[in-house]
Structure 1
Amino acid sequence: MNTTKNIKRKIPKILLIVGVILMLFLLFQKSLTAFAEKFTSTSDPVAIQTPTIFVPGTNGTVNRFNGLIKALDSKADVLKVTVATDGTVSSKGKLTSTAEHPIIVIAFEDSSDETLPVQGKWYQLALHYIQEKYSFETYNYLGHSNGGLVITSYLEEFQQTGDPELAKLITLGTPYNDTSKKYNEAVTSFTQLKETSDLLEGYLTNLENIPDTIEMLNIAGEVDDTASDNTVPVQSVFSGRYIYQDQVAEYQEVLIEGENTSHSELVENQKVVQLLKDFFW
């Protein structure tokens, strides 16, 4: 009788020990699986249609183009990519192989004017990160404000063998010749610059590296006949011709006048939205 009682008392303890061992085993197996998934590629990149990449200007985030994207295609697949100052890349969203016009927004943790010299390199890191997840050979690009300088820097200095090819480029309100009146006159038509800024001079150094297959549209905004979008003079924007006009396959300039033509408003200006649709898609 005593033996039977002792066995009955031990059974719960045995079951508890077995349960603990089983739980530890399952936790170990789960951890091992997670570790393997982290360091092992589980699938090939997803093949997608030609994406359009958006890059904002100074202090712009991945949400800068939300209104524009809604106006272009409210149902579009969108991937938002952020590059940290140490070069690490993260993303939110997903692209599918069936999306007709996939959109990628790339922004930098620090997109201040001070980091502009390295933003072209950060852009290249973002491209590499994206191509590990998605496969595409060509892409289109919209750069607002300094976003136009980012792609210029990338094309001249940081483009790598194996990177996808830029097909169509739009820069919007980009200050190629800085923003100061010291360098720019209040004109919308000109044959020469008032003065070449150090910024523009830098981009004229390696312009021969720009691929000659690109089709480009350079857009400026003008508020109330001021020859400026209240931030960037039209002359500065159209100074992009000195970099691109003789290098690319096609170069056009467009001046947007009327309502919603200030620097920040240009991104959602209805004329600009239509130009983007017609040019890219």
Structure 2
Amino acid sequence: MVPGSSASINRFDPLIAKLNKNNAHPHSILKIKVSKNGQLSYLGSLNRGDNEPIIVIGFENNHDGYSNIKKQAGWLDEAFYQISDTYKFNNFKAFGHSNGGLIWTYWLEHYYSDYSSEIKIKKLMTLASPFNFSENSVNRRTQMLNDFIKNKKKLPKNLVVYSLTGGRSYESDGIVPEASVAAAKYVFQNQVKSFTEMTITGDEAGHSDLPQNKQVVQLMKQYLFDKMNSQAPLTKESQKQKDRNKKKEKIK
């Protein structure tokens, strides 16, 4: 998980708490803060046997802007190299809120090929990521969007991408224009395995509220995480019913 601009490694604490609530297999959590000189600070740990832990990567310099997103992608790579060397995983899924989704996209286009023979990214979920910054028309493309489009052939072909946007109004989530989030289709569509857009409406659909939004949590459980890690513990009665259903299947 990578947070957006001005956000710390604690940005996703409420989200992770909701993901782990009533979860039979709660995710262990490791937070990594990358300093301006590339040094890493760790908080938390990964539990042995946890096949789907959560790793949050944030930056000391968490300012906005395209030039900074490029720097942050480089710092993301510093962290990714270290954790991949330490934990020896062979696949992962990525999540980014706001600029976090842009940082992941830049990293995929410029750094991922260094790992792709041994480590596969399976899914990417971006949440309210402004692929055209504050522009509300794709006819006015920013340099960043043009660069993303120019380098899109470097994206992994088997990647599954979900782009979520907040619909506090019909035009934006209060900060990011919906048209800017929708510009992601010019980067991913017909380039990756699948690209799906979804709009979050109702309560807590504002930009800053989205990571805690119940719909977002449910969509993450449904599309981003493995099903076995998202199921609540069975009650005694539901476990009995499950056992009865298994017996019926055997008889058939």
In the alignment of these two chains, the number of paired residues is 217
Q: What is the aligned partner in structure 1 of residue 125 from structure 2?
A: 170
Deviations 1:181-222 (A, max 9, x none): xx315xxxxxxx342122211211211100001001000001
Task: Tell whether 2:41 aligns with 1:86.
Answer: no
Q: What is the aligned partner in structure 1 of residue 20 from structure 2?
A: 73
**Separation in 1, partners of 2:32, 2:203:** 31
TM-superposed deviation, 1:160: 4.4
Q: What is the aligned partner in structure 2 of residue 200 from structure 1?
A: 145
The 5 Å alignment of 1:1-281 reads: 54-74=1-21, 75-114=26-65, 115-162=68-115, 164-179=119-134, 183-185=135-137, 193-223=138-168, 225-280=169-224, 281=226
The percent identity for this pair of structures is: 34
Letter in 2 for 1:149: L
**Separation in 1, partners of 2:13, 2:6:** 15
Deviations 1:213-235 (A, max 9, x none): 10010000011x33200000111
**Separation in 2, partners of 1:250, 1:203:** 17
* Between 269-278 and 150-159, the greater mean CA deviation after superposition: 150-159
TM-superposed deviation, 1:272: 0.6
**Separation in 1, partners of 2:19, 2:215:** 12
Letter in 2 for 1:127: F
Letter in 1 for 2:93: N
Structure 2, unpaired ranges of 5+ = 227-252
Query: What value does the CA root-mean-square deviation take over the aligned residues?
Result: 1.4
Structure 1, unpaired ranges of 5+ = 1-53, 186-192
Q: Considering only CA atoms, is the larger Rg found in Structure 1 or Structure 2?
A: 1
Q: What is the aligned partner in structure 2 of residue 14 from structure 1?
A: none
TM-superposed deviation, 1:264: 0.6
Q: What is the aligned partner in structure 2 of residue 190 from structure 1?
A: none
TM-superposed deviation, 1:100: 4.2
Letter in 2 for 1:113: D
